[in-house]
Every structure is written in structure tokens, then in C-alpha cells.
Structure 1
Amino acid sequence: MANIIVAGVGGQGVLLATDVIAAAAVSAGFDAKKSEVHGVAQRGGSVVSHVRYAEKVHSPLCVPGQVDLLIAFERLEALRSAHFVKKDGVIIVNNREIEPIQFLDEPKPYPTGVEDFLEKKNFEVLRIDASDLAKKAGDVRAANVVVLGLASRILDIDERHWTQGLSQILPAKILELNKKAFAKGREAFPL
């Protein structure tokens, strides 16, 4: 069983990543449920989705303190959703900084030390420069799939099912590029 939260801001591909995780889990024979629980899918707005998979899943919503893996496409979004992660849970943090919408009217310095704060809470924090790796794969917009590549090393779903999930969700014209991005994420950490 896995409880996963994917968090980011509108335009980062949170919902696409959620769809790929669920499709990979179903391909592997699990029951999977997903839900966007808050936020608006507008550029710059906070977006959070939950994914759960197991032999049988009754609810798509994760309970605070029970999440195995938090995938954060942006640093502050990791902080916003950290209360869901269980002790010794894993948080993948893309090192991307996007100024919160609230800062547009009244600029403030971007908070520092997010990852250090999370590590002090006994979470395993994996930092990744997904944008750079996606650029190396061919398109910076595939950063979300780079992060999924790293997540695939943590979750109990075989790589072939991830490939099936990508093939099922992504349009054919960008599939090969995203497979390269996924591979970059898998290679990012020697877990």
C-alpha cells in the first residue's frame, strides 16, 4: 500500500503526474484512487492531489501523518503538505522556487532552509534539480516526469508499469521525450 501526495503550483503538471502514478499502479495490478483536494489549476496557484494504491482502496484521500511519499514540485509546497507525511516518510523536493501569488502585491524574500527544516522533522528529504535534468532530456517542461522517475525508485511498482502509465497518459508526440526525462530522474539518485 502507498499513500502519496503530489504538490506544486498550477502549470507544473501536478495533475498529470497524479494520473501517471495511478495508471502505473493499476498496470501493476493495484486498485488506485486519486483526488485533487484543494487549490486551483491556474498558473501560480497551489495544487495538491492525493494518490493511494493497494490491493483495495476505499478512499482517495490521505490522512495527515500517514503519507509515505510527498512529491513536491516546488519548495514551499513541500512545507505546506509536510504535515501529511508519516515519521520517517520520504519527501522529494524539486529545488524550484516559484514566488507565491501572495508575494505579487507585497514582495517578500523567498523563505530559506525549507529542506533543512523538513530533515529536522525526521523526514528523509531527497533534493532534485528536476528542471536542469528535464532540460538535458530535451524540454524543461518535463520536470514533473523527472521527479516521477525518482519517485519510481521509491515506490513498489516495477519500471515497466511506469512506462505503461506514461504511454497511457501522455500524447504520443511527447512520449519519447518524457521517457528520457523519466530515465534522468531514475538515474538521479543511487538508492
Structure 2
Amino acid sequence: MRDESHGQPARVPYVFPPFGTDAVADAIRARRANDTLLDLDGVLLNSVPLAAAWNEVGRVIRYKNTIPGDMRELLILRSAVLNRAAYQWIQHEPVGRAEGLTTAQLLAIRFAPPFTERINGAASATSDFNSALSPELAAALEFADWSTSAVRVPTNVYDNLRQFLNDKQMVEATATLGVYSMVSRVTVGLNVDGKMDVVVPVPQ
């Protein structure tokens, strides 16, 4: 296990209890790569009950979700773009690639104009970006835009994604966006790893 010293400061101190001294921290470690706490975990552990609940919700969203992995990561990454949450993007771009998202698809997620711009006449640019996405992922991108930025999802946008997912998966997709919008707000609002004002990276 690597040293859990933090990177850049956040707006609150990082709390990294030594291994074996805190049951909640160790439960979070068990879900993380290399049993290592992230800077986000160090921020959340300022409130142990919140960190415990957060870990359980995160575990379900990541590992008990039945929507396809590439779609799940598209939803997470798109919410990072819309919320200007660089930390979230940096954590999930490698996961997205591992789930099968290509560089071209990541570029579409990163740069496709948000729905408000499409409404105002950027449809041709959107078509160019969507050409990198399957119909399922393009429908998920549109759904993510509405759910994240407008909250109220129009029926046609909902139905467009529903043709690819069952009712259980629609709940999971909507919940994934809700949870990761919460992640965005915590990581940006508390300046986790000093990334509050960092531009969301461009996939290479």
C-alpha cells in the first residue's frame, strides 16, 4: 500500500487514519485500488458517518450497477464535464478506457456541446461528435445533459434511452448521474486536490 499523503490541499484537512485503526477508512480502502484512500476519501472522513454512507452508495453504483460499463462511465464523465469537475474526470477517464471507451468517444464526451447549445443551433457540431458514439451511448449522453443540467428530463429524451435499457437500468442510470453530480459538488466545492479551478483535461 502506497503512502496516503495527499497531493494539493483542499479546503478542509485530509483525514487518513492509519490502516487498522478505523473501520470506516478500512472499508473504503477495500473498495479502492491498492487498498489506498483517495484525496476525496480524506475529505469525506472529516465526517465519518457521511464517509461510511458515501462508500456504500459508491460501491453499489460502481459494482452493483447493471447498465453497461461504458455507458456508466460515460454518464460519470459527462457529469464531470458539465459540472467542470476536473478531479472527477481525472479519476474516471482510466476507468472509462478500461470499460471500452475509445479516445474518440472520450473526446465526444468532453467536447460535444451541451443540450442548451444544441437547442440554439449547434446540431451539426453535435452530429460530428455523436458519430463516434453508438446509438446507445449517444442516447445516454443526451440523457446525461438533461438530467445533470436541467434535472427535468423530457419524455422523448427519456424514451430514447429507455429503448436500450430496462426499468431497473433507467433507475440506475438516473441514480448514477445524481450520485456523481453530488461527487462533483463535493470535489469542486471543497477543492479536493486543488482541482477546483483546473480545466477538465482533454483526452489524449
What's the TM-score, normalizing by structure 1? 0.29
Structure richer in strand, relative to its length:
1
TM-score when normalising by structure 2 = 0.28
